[in-house]
Structure 1
Amino acid sequence: MFPSPAMLFLYPLIYTFSGICFLVFVVYQYLVRKLRFHRPKNFPYKGQVPNPAAKGKKAVVCIGDSITHGNVSANYVDMLERWMGEDFFFYNAGVNSDLTYTVLDRLEAIIAAQPDFVTLLIGTNDVNATVSKASLKKYYQFHKITPGALPDFESFQQNYVEIVRQLKTQTKAQIAVLSLPVMGENLQNEANLKADVYSEFIKTLAANEQVTYLPVRERMKDFLKSHPKKLSYEYKDTIKLMYLSVIKHELLGQNWDKIGLSHGMDLTQDNLHFNTRGAAMIASLVEKWLKQ
């Protein structure tokens, strides 16, 4: 029995649709693994002895989230390695979507690396989790927050103090804490206003604990204030922009600077992650501190 003309017409469409669905599934799985499970070069794993490549160099551990991890943005740790790699060995202890909660959970591995210097850039996701229910749901799904726990300014303060004090008492490292980078280029959005408060706490803590404070936020805000422009996207577009940026980078081969320009942004490409200019602002502050 021969298929009808209608079925002969539909077969190619069915195969094409099935192929597209399979391709979308493969791409989605790849992006999920890249965002959730990938770890950066020279990541300090639990139970790992200090990296042999660090021998004869000062060891620096850069602690943070995706901004430090650097696989969905320009990588400021890689910049530091290029600039200062002859004298310093850089551990990249950045993990995508991390909050202060999860940094505390993996602090043992960081301490075991026996660093001479530590930088701490964490809190963007703590703020982001308080801005929208969709963001909060994502952190629960990614197991970044214990079910039932509700991130707020008080929990951030407690976690941050504990991180700094453990680093002070369990390592001999010199410590620098960094204010939070801008969260979108509209400095008056809810996330940025909250990040101002969180960063002021970090600055006060640095003085009280006698550790170095690096004004990342202040530097970025000064730049944006001196380069005002009409923005094409608001902070509510962040999740959409983040996935769009990763697709443009991974599938179309566009660099983060080009993506940021296409979204009408000067420092970021998706409100949270940074292009070369934004990453260099972070790296240059760390570089100056290490040289001192």
Structure 2
Amino acid sequence: MWYVIVGLLLSIPVGVYFWLRSKVLHHRPENYPNTALKLADKQVVVCIGDSITHGNTGANYVDLLATTFADRPWQFFNAGRNADLTYTLLDRLDDVIQLQPDLVTVLIGTNDVNATLSQWRLKEYRDIGRIDPGVTPSFESFQANYRQIISRLRAETKARIALASLPVMGEDLTHEANLRADSYSLFIKQLCIDEGLTYLPVREEMKAYLGDFPTKRRYGYEAARRLLTVSVARHYLFGHSWDQICAANGNQLTQDMLHFNSIGARIIAGLITPFLQTLQPQPATAL
């Protein structure tokens, strides 16, 4: 009888682990692009990205925008997916294109940078199926993938397009992750200039915020994976807010070096807001 009790006790943490893992790797936002959900009397806004856009491992800036502008004739779709790179975003681009959106924002690249930082990080992305065995991300592949994303959106939709620079990766701006993210973001900014697209300076705003409110961080960037696991568990099992977790870890914006509290989400939403104002009112339907 004792082994049955032990088995049951052991099954609980295992079950919780796989539930949390599924929450991170396989969950889709309820408002993920789907033509069946598209409303005829609304203008379509699609926010494309990775987990920062997905918003279930940190504060959700897409939901924040949808709530803030609930009285406007805009329908928000969340095309974020946890752990995505530009490489895997290309595989999902048809989901966005089929909606024929009026406006698109793109916030992608954090995982492209992260995958270049070490072999064990690269292996993790391969283990969860985000990178094929024969693919090794690089700055050059990021540039090529990003250009292809924008090329398809411009060729296959009539959407207004805004590109966001990469958010901070941890709050030590001298860390190699942030130095590389600086270079990736400069490419995005130049692409906006070359292609006549709107640029959203997410990185610049977050760096300025950290300059105004210096961090009291307790952990370095190398703790990101462990902090992500603990943060997700604290949020979903114990109901702690992302803000509470972030503060407990001594950070100002990111509770686990990669995902953001409500302040970070408001920074992103605040930069998207003026771009939303460029949406032209739909013409009235003749009676």
On whether the aligned pair clears a TM of 0.5, the verdict is: yes
- The offset of 1:134, in angstroms, is 2.1
Q: 1:137 aligns with which of 111, 119, 123?
A: 123
Provide the TM-score with structure 1 as the length reference: 0.92
The one-letter code matched in structure 1 to 2:26 is F
Mapped pair 1:233 → 2:222: no
2:63 corresponds in structure 1 to 78
Aligned residue in 1 for 2:25: 36
Q: Across the two proteins, how many residue pairs are aligned to each other?
A: 277
* 2:209 partner amino acid: F
Kept in 1: contact 2:171–2:215 (CA 8 A): no
| Equivalent pair of 2:215/2:252 in contact (CA under 8 Å) | no
Deviation readout 1:48-76 (Å, 9 max, x if unpaired)? 53524x32121001000000000111000
Partner residue, 2:43 = 58
SS of structure 1 residue aligned to 2:45: strand
Counterpart among 225, 239, 248 of residue 253 in structure 1 = 239
Q: Which residue of 2 aligns with 1:116?
A: 102
Tell me the equivalent position of 2:157: 171
Aligned partner letter, 2:155? T
Provide the secondary structure at the position in 2 that maps to 1:91.
Answer: strand
Deviates more, 1:231-240 or 1:19-28: 19-28
Q: 1:160 corresponds to which residue?
A: 146
**Partner SS, residue 208 of structure 2:** helix
Per-residue CA distance 1:165-220 (angstroms, 9 max, x = gap): 11011100000000000000110111000000000000000110111000000000
The sequence identity of aligned pairs, in percent, is 50
SS in structure 1 opposite 2:155? helix
The one-character-per-residue Cα deviations of 1:99-141 (angstroms, maximum 9, x if unpaired) are: 0011101111110011000000000000000112222111101
Any gaps of 5 or more consecutive residues in structure 2? 279-287
Structure 2 Cα separation of the partners of residues 192 and 16 of structure 1: 48
1:29, distance to aligned residue in structure 2 (A): 1.1
Relative distance call for 1:24 and 1:271 in structure 2 (3 A) is same
Q: Distance in 2 between matches of 1:165 and 1:71?
A: 29
Relative to structure 2, which stretch is displaced further, 126-135 or 212-221? Answer: 126-135
1:264 aligns with 2:250: yes
Aligned to 2:16: 27
Distance 2:24 2:189 in 1: 30
Q: Report the more deviating stretch, 208-217 or 20-29.
A: 20-29
Moved more, 14-23 or 234-243: 14-23
CA distance in 2, matches of 1:85, 1:151: 39
Per the alignment, residue 265 of structure 2 pairs with: 279
RMSD (Å), alpha carbons: 1.3
AA matched with 1:268 = T
Question: For the Cα contact (< 8 Å) 2:216–2:251, is it kept in 1?
Answer: no
The equivalent residue for 1:7 is none
TM-score normalised by the chain length of structure 2: 0.93
Structure 1 CA distance for aligned equivalents of residues 149 and 82 of structure 2: 18
- 2: CA distance, partners of 1:125 / 1:192: 12
Give 3-state SS (helix, strand or coil) of 2:76's partner: strand
In the other structure, the counterpart of 2:285 is: none
2:273 and 2:43 map into 1 onto residues whose CA distance is: 13
Question: 2:60 is aligned with what amino acid?
Answer: N
